[in-house]
Structures are given as structure tokens and as C-alpha cells.
Structure 1
Amino acid sequence: MVPCYNQAQYLDECLQSVLDQIYPNWECIIVNDGSLDDTEAIAQEWIHKDNRFIYLKKENGGLSSARNYGISYAKGEFILPLDADDKIASHYVALALKEFENNSDTKVVYCQAEKFGEEFGIWQLSPFFILNLARRNMIFCSAMYRKKDWELVGGYDINLIYGLEDWEFWIAILKNGGDVKCLDEVGFYYRIREKSMARIINLEERNFSERYVAKKHIDFFLSNYDELLGINGELNSKLKSEKVLLNELCFQLFGFKIFNLKK
């Protein structure tokens, strides 16, 4: 599933990486999220080239909205989002599916990643474990998961218009259990651009997104509170309400408090 908003100049390279997959039984849903460039013309060329490409168009609604729109049309059991300016290796889909076959408890499969564009080299990401996920995101958007898990959590949160939608999504589907596998092979190529969304987000927007995630998943952060801060039971007993507890947690982790509590 490839959402595209004014990224027509990268779309050919992205879709070619999908066409090159050694696993043949795929569909690629291209979602034009209200682009003002040549996205539609380029997408039309690809759907005429191979009928496994599907083209959808909608009014601009942001990344989460575009992903949800495309995934809602997907017929397969597994989903692999791919942003229009990125690429995947030819063996990625096949290797990811094999991991799901090997372990029925697996919920997410991703891989080693490499940067290209304005920067080159291996993308050094922290290893996954659930406590690490409570601190920060280390799973990029182009990981594979089951469509039913997307449905269970209500998809990507369209309120996260400034970013962190991937972090929130992984928390949502993993906080109640499930295995995560990171492949040893490089299977994902992340384009570094000067004006990428991750680079232009400002501090106020970042804080909004972090507060939103913290409020939405208060249960997840509270369940990892002891491990995150290394505090003892005596201090825990002094923090008598969930809001006080979460305020302290967010301040320690992110440097801000999400609730304005009166003494």
C-alpha cells in the first residue's frame, strides 16, 4: 500500500521495487491523497503495466487517512505500507511472510534498513523490546502486519497529523502482547530528504503528538512505569492518581506534563 502526496518524482522508483518482489502474489494499492503533481498520470502507467497495481484517489486527508483508505480496500491477509519516496528490497515480502508462517504469535515483522538520498548508510535503530517501545519508536512504517490487527485497533490515528502515527500504531497493536521479528537482512531503503515531514516538524507539533500518544495509551505507559523510571514501591505509593503518575512519567521521559493539575 503506497500513499502518495505530491511525490510523483519518486513514485516510479518506489513502485519498481514492488514489481521486483520475488514473491509474486501481491497487490499494490496506490493512494493519491489529493496530489497536485503528476501522481495520477504516473500511477495510471503502472496499473496498465501490471494488473496487480490498483489506483485510488481521495481528497487530501493526511498520511494516516491515506493509509487507512488504501488498507480498507486491501484483499490480502497481510499489509506492508510503503511511502512513495522509499523502496523495498526484492526479497523483503517473501522473507517477512516466512516469519509469519514460522511463528503464529508474530504480529510485526520488519528488517534492517539503509538510508539513501541526502544521506547514505545503515539506519541504526534501537533493538525492539516492549520497554524500548515505551521510550521511543524503533519500527519504521514499512513493517508487515496482519490486516485484522489494523482493524482491531481502528487503523492509523488520523488525529496525529504532525507525525508519530507509526509509534502510536505499534503501541496499539503490541501493548497487549505478540511477537516482533526484525530480519537480519536489509530490506527497506529510507530516503532522506531536506523537506521530509520528520525534518520540518517543530517542537510545538512534536509536543502535541507526544501528549496525544501519552493520553491515548495511558495504560501502556503506566504498566511500564517502574521499569522506565526505576522507582521503588514507596514512591509509587505516594503517586496516588493515574494523572499524577502519568504526569511524572511524561516529565521524566519527554520533559513535559500532559495534565494541568491543581494542588
Structure 2
Amino acid sequence: MNLVSIIIPVYNQEKYLTETLNSVLSQTYSNWECVLVNDGSSDNSVSILSEYVSKDNRFVFINSENKGVSSARNLGLKRATGYFILFLDGDDLIHPDKITLAISSFQKNINLDIVFNCTNYFQNTVDNTLYPITLNSNLLNFNDLLLFWGDRIIIPIHSAIIKKDLFDGIEYNCDLTAQEDWLVWLRLFQKNPKTLVLDSVLSYYRKHNESRTQSRSFEEDHFKAMEIFEKYMDLESYKSLLLHQTKRYYKRAYDNANKLNEIKRSKTFRAAFFVKSKLKKFRLLSIISFLSANFFKDEK
């Protein structure tokens, strides 16, 4: 049986870490190692990691100062000794049969480079599915990933098991704090890998307020990513990317303007505007605002 290296970067995820590591321990495929990379956590994460390292020698611990998720994943890749790579974040989960089913697919077709599966986006418990994340195998190519990422396609990092040699010459860009996974997928698909998508939910992507995607805006990071992408692709591909991104944002702006106009034309909006204008006319609006601010403010 081929060894699978599971790489988990961890930064202050004590609240979810035990559940994540238990999902690793529950794998029906036993020939794995789990490389735990502590990215300078200041909470109780290190104690939890140490507990699992002591109870099962398949867990390997790497301690690092806080340098970000890209650096942590790169450290894990350097330490990994497996034939296959599975990335898993410290707050997400994998199904007990995830590795077993992927390895079975690799064994049936030795030409495969990546095996994907479906993912559920969930909150609190895996039974509370917010929506499924499915992959269209027809879009799993360099050109479609380049143009339609975040629109028609998004790939959760833990939905894939990847042959390690596909990462030769590739690592996560530590200058990016967003879109770093998109760049890695693009570089992997520049190698034209053979892929398979399993029609089963085998990974679970957790929504919570502390996650990166919920706690910050990525506008600045997105434009920074566009600058960095230039050195990883040919000129025609880069021009296609910039042109498509421009069209995409113009379309969104146009759609949002139409939605705003529809709201303004609605009876509800016009009624509210009429009431507001009358209140303002009789100087009641400022009085209502004053009373609201002073008598209905939140208690501390």
C-alpha cells in the first residue's frame, strides 16, 4: 500500500482541531502519515497536537513561527515522505473512506495524477450542510481554471489526493495571503494531469466566523495575486486572464446596478422614501433619530 502524506497547517484552531484529527484517525486506509505544522499558534493548539503525536506515531509534528498558511504547507511538503499528498486545514474534516476510495481509483488507473471528490460546505456539524461543492470534470483544465475560478469552479484544498511528484518545482507562494491555492492549481494543471472526480461527498469544508474567508476582505490580495501570476504563465494566457477578469467585474457592476434600480422601482422602496420625505419635511426624522440613539441603544 502506498503511503499517503496528510499535511495540516495549524494556527489557533483549538476549537476544531480535535474533530479534524479524529477524522484522520478514523480513516479506513491505514498507511498514512500526518504532518502537523504549527504556524506559531498562541492558543491551546500545540497541546492538542502533542497529544495526538504521543498517541499515534503516524502523526509528525513541526513547530514554526507564524509565517502563514503557504509557508506551513511548504514545510509540510518538504517533510512529507508519501507517494500521495492530501492537504487538510485544521478546522475541516474528511470522510472515513476518503483515502480508501481514492487509492482504489489510483490502483484501477495507474495513469491518474489527481483524484477529486465532492465536498459539503457545513456549519457546526456535518449534517448541517449549507450547500454542496461539486466539481465539473470538464472544467478541470488549465484554461478553464484560469478564466472561471471563483465563478464556475472552486476546488476545496482537501477535496483532492495528488501524486507527490506532480509538485516537483511547485510550492505555495508565501507573498500571497489569498488566491495562493488558485495559483498552485494553475501550476499543477499546466502539467496537464490526468484527473478523476468521485461522485461522493468525502470532505467537509467548515464555515465559521474565525476562518480567513469570513474575517477579511480579499480585494487587495486579489490584485496582488494578478501581479504575481504574470511570472508563472505565458503572455497570451496572462492577457486572457486580465481581459476575462475585467469583463467579469464590469458584468457584476452592471448586474448590481440593475438590481439597485429594481429595488428603487419597488412599491416598498417608494413607500419608505415617501414616509421619509414627509418626516423630514415636518422635522420629525431628526427627533426619531435622537430618540433611537438615546433610548434604544444596545446595552454593554
Taking structure 2 as the reference length, the TM-score comes to: 0.71
| 1:70-109 pair list within 5 angstroms | 70-109=76-115
CA contact (8 A) 1:107 1:174 kept: no
1:49-84 Cα deviation digits (max 9, x unpaired): 111111110011111100110121111111101000
Q: Give unpaired runs (5+ residues) of structure 2.
A: 1-6, 251-300
Instruction: Give the equivalent residue in structure 1 for 2:44.
Output: 38
Instruction: Give the equivalent residue in structure 1 for 2:144.
Output: 132
Whose Rg is larger? 2
CA contact (8 A) 1:108 1:144 kept: yes
CA contact (8 A) 1:218 1:246 kept: no
How many equivalent residue pairs? Answer: 234
Q: What is the SS of the residue equivalent to 1:115?
A: strand
Moved more, 40-49 or 246-255: 246-255
Q: Give unpaired runs (5+ residues) of structure 1.
A: 224-241, 256-263
Distance 2:10 2:194 in 1: 30
Aligned CA distance change for structure 1 residues 99 and 32 (closer, same or farther; 3 Å): same
C-alpha displacement of 1:195:
3.0
Distance 1:176 1:133 in 2: 13
Structure 2 letter corresponding to 1:186? V
Taking structure 1 as the reference length, the TM-score comes to: 0.81
Distance 2:228 2:134 in 1: 21
Distance 1:30 1:171 in 2: 25
Instruction: Give the equivalent residue in structure 2 for 1:252.
Output: 247
Alignment equivalent of 1:195, drawn from 205, 210, 214: 210
1:186-231 Cα deviation digits (max 9, x unpaired): 1001110123211233253243244135423443x835xxxxxxxx
Instruction: Give the equivalent residue in structure 2 for 1:29.
Output: 35
C-alpha displacement of 1:138:
2.1
1:209-260 Cα deviation digits (max 9, x unpaired): 44135423443x835xxxxxxxxxxxxxxxxxx76x66434422455xxxxx
Q: Decide which structure has greater helix share.
A: 2
